[in-house]
């Protein structure tokens, strides 16, 4: 599979099964994803293993948006989780947790994934790399429907379009979880930020 074919698959596939059938071809471009295959997250907010969660996040994104990096970010947003697994801090908490996994995922993308792709001749621009790192690093940010929250992201700096793309990623990531109240609220807030409410806040800056 050529890299452009992989990106097209992520952007246009209509179901998880189509993408999963190509997982070995995908792993040739992103070798570290193999450790995500059948990785049991052991967390009550997750109904999928780590790989299938990531694929549901990819497929849950709006189809065929312009920014290829958004779909790569969806695929790789949790690639650092296996390095971050810890038990809950309370005796009654039987879940495994992944504190700091966005930072670890960002580090992997920045120091391993991007250099590997460039070495393979994938024509990633500096701006492409920055957006990919942004999507992975911020995919789990707690968002608020405030002007201050919009400003904070624009100061990264990213464009407002890129911020709204991140919101699509956050919504899709959240929908690939068990729909407990905190997750439902995340979907509501990020959906609003991705739409007209986000524009209303942006216009106040």
- What total of structural domains would you count in the chain? 1
Q: How far apart are CA 67 and CA 139, in angstroms?
A: 16
Domain that holds residue 78: 3-202
In angstroms, the CA 167 to CA 171 distance is 6
Alpha carbons 58 and 187: distance in angstroms, whole number: 16
Q: Which residue has the tokens 């942006």?
A: 202
What tens-digit pLDDT sequence spans the chain (205 residues)? 999 999 999 999 999 999 999 999 999 999 999 999 999 999 998 999 999 999 999 999 999 999 999 999 999 999 999 999 999 888 888 898 999 999 999 999 999 999 999 999 999 999 999 999 999 999 999 999 999 999 999 999 999 999 999 999 999 999 999 999 999 999 999 999 999 999 999 999 8
How far is residue 65's CA from residue 48's CA, in Å, rounded to a whole number? Answer: 25
Judge contact between 154 and 163, C-beta under 8 A.
yes
Question: In whole angstroms, what is the distance from residue 94 CA to residue 71 CA?
Answer: 32
d(CA 114, CA 128): 10
Contact 94, 156 (CB under 8 A): no
**CB of 30 closer than 8 Å to CB of 58:** no
71 neighbors 58 (Cβ within 8 angstroms) = yes
Helix and strand totals (H; E) in the chain: 12, 2
């Amino acid at each position: 599979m050529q890299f452009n074919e992989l990106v097209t698959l992520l952007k246009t596939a209509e179901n998880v099964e189509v993408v999963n059938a190509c997982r070995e071809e995908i792993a040739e471009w992103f070798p570290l994803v193999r450790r995500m295959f059948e990785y049991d997250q052991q967390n009550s907010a997750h109904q999928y293993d780590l790989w299938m969660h990531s694929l549901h996040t990819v497929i849950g994104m709006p189809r065929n948006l312009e920014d290829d990096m958004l779909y790569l970010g969806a695929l790789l947003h949790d690639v650092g989780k296996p390095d971050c697994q810890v038990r809950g801090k309370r005796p009654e908490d039987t879940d495994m947790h992944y504190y700091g996994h966005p930072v670890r995922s960002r580090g992997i993308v920045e120091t391993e994934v991007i250099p590997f792709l460039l070495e393979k001749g994938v024509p990633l621009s500096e701006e492409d790399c920055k957006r990919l790192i942004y999507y992975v690093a911020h995919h789990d940010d707690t968002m608020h429907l405030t002007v201050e929250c919009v400003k904070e992201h624009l100061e990264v700096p990213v464009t407002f379009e890129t911020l709204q793309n991140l919101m699509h990623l956050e919504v899709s990531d959240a929908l690939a979880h068990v729909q407990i109240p905190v997750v439902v609220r995340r979907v509501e807030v990020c959906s609003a930020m991705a739409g007209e409410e986000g524009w209303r806040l942006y216009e106040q800056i």
